[in-house]
Amino acid sequence: MAETDKPVFEVADDASVKAARETLDAHTVEMMAWHFHPSTGCPFWLEYAQSLPFDPIKEVHCYDDLKKFPPFQDEWLRGGPVRRWAPKGFEGQPLYVFETGGTTGVPKSRVNSRDFRTDYEMFSDTLPEEYFPKGANWLMLGPSGPRRLRLAIEHLAQYRGGICFCVDLDPRWVVKLIKKGWMEHLEAYKEHCIDQAITILEAGHDIRCMFTTPKLLESLALALEKRGSSIHKAGITGIFSGGTEFTPQWTRFATEELLDGAYMTPTYGNTLMGLAASRPVTPADGYTIAYYAPQPRAVIELVDFDDTNSVVPYGGTGRVKLTTLTKETFVPGFLERDEGERELPYVKYPWDGVSGVRPFHKLASATTVGVY
């Protein structure tokens, strides 16, 4: 590797990578034993196992053995009965159902008991105390309704000893407004959300942390600036944000011109995976945003567009393939609607990462991104 090509972040050493892999392999075997045992597995997988030419409990010895499963069809997640996804091992426990998509047609859904809490507790450990102080109150300015994000952020705030203030936001309506070309209504809806956010921020609740999306962060920053204030002056010290429009240029612009010194950490997440944290975003790294899945609970691979069982080389472009391995949910090899570049393991996350996440180019024209 040429001197100039050396990564500017701290790459994980081989021993850490190996150890992480061994943990993943052991965790995979444990998950097979859970999901495919009649006493603990969910009806869907127990029934599906009958059609498999192998026994997942006996013949999956490591993570790579999951390739024996045929590709996961996301259509399976649409429609009911949703209880077919509920593991018997959690019988009697309260269940949530979280949805994704759903602008038209039946949304995809995932049942959840405690996973979202675990994911966000793990994520909480990655937040710097200086900017996300324990006990601080939060503002959730993002999609609400049947999404896990709303509850997850509230749990994150509570887990860190704070209270979460929320603003309603219906992304399905936003997508409809865009598709109909009702841009005036779109602006009005955005203003409606921002007005509420500013009202809460100015109401003396000592809110110092916030979740929001890039588009809403832009709008909030501009609205505050018009009032002679700023994100930082409004009291915010730490922002946790997410979305595929999180580009290096956008991050640079936000850092240099919108945040007024507040700290922002990008994340990549969805209802299936949970939450992938990013390694620190720095000017020296060209504001590269690289995400690392919460392994071993979820694994991200960058695979060849045509051969989805082959991982692309480091730096290569591939489609995001997600595997979820929690006791509540098993999703092997789900091909996301995103693509990106494969990143080297980072010292804090000694496994593959992904950068440059954007809509999968073959589906991009049909995807509405950055809508809220």
> Where do contacts with another protein occur on this chain (CB under 8 A)?
181, 183-184, 187, 218-219, 221-222, 225-226, 247-250, 252-253, 257-258, 286-287, 370
CA distance 203 to 92: 41
Which residues make beta-bridge pairs with 366?
A: none
- Nearest distance from C-beta of residue 181 to another protein, angstroms: 5
Using the minimum distance from each CB to another protein, give the nearer residue, 66 or 239: 239
**Tokens 């996440």 found at:** 357
Using the minimum distance from each CB to another protein, give the nearer residue, 127 or 259: 259
- Nearest distance from C-beta of residue 283 to another protein, angstroms: 10
- Nearest distance from C-beta of residue 282 to another protein, angstroms: 13
- Nearest distance from C-beta of residue 232 to another protein, angstroms: 15
How many beta carbons lie within 10 A of that of residue 10, not counting itself?
Answer: 11
**Residue 12: half-sphere exposure toward Cβ, Cα within 13 Å:** 21
Using the minimum distance from each CB to another protein, give the nearer residue, 69 or 189: 189
CA distance 323 to 308: 13
- The DSSP annotation for 199-214 comes to HHHTTT--EEEEEE-H
Residue 126 DSSP symbol = T
Phi, psi for 209 (deg, rounded to 5):
-125, 155
- Nearest distance from C-beta of residue 183 to another protein, angstroms: 7
Helix (H, G, I), strand (E, B) or coil at 177: helix
Of 189, 209, 210, 334, which Cα lies nearest the Cα of 270?
334
Strands 330-343 and 317-325: antiparallel
- Nearest distance from C-beta of residue 368 to another protein, angstroms: 11
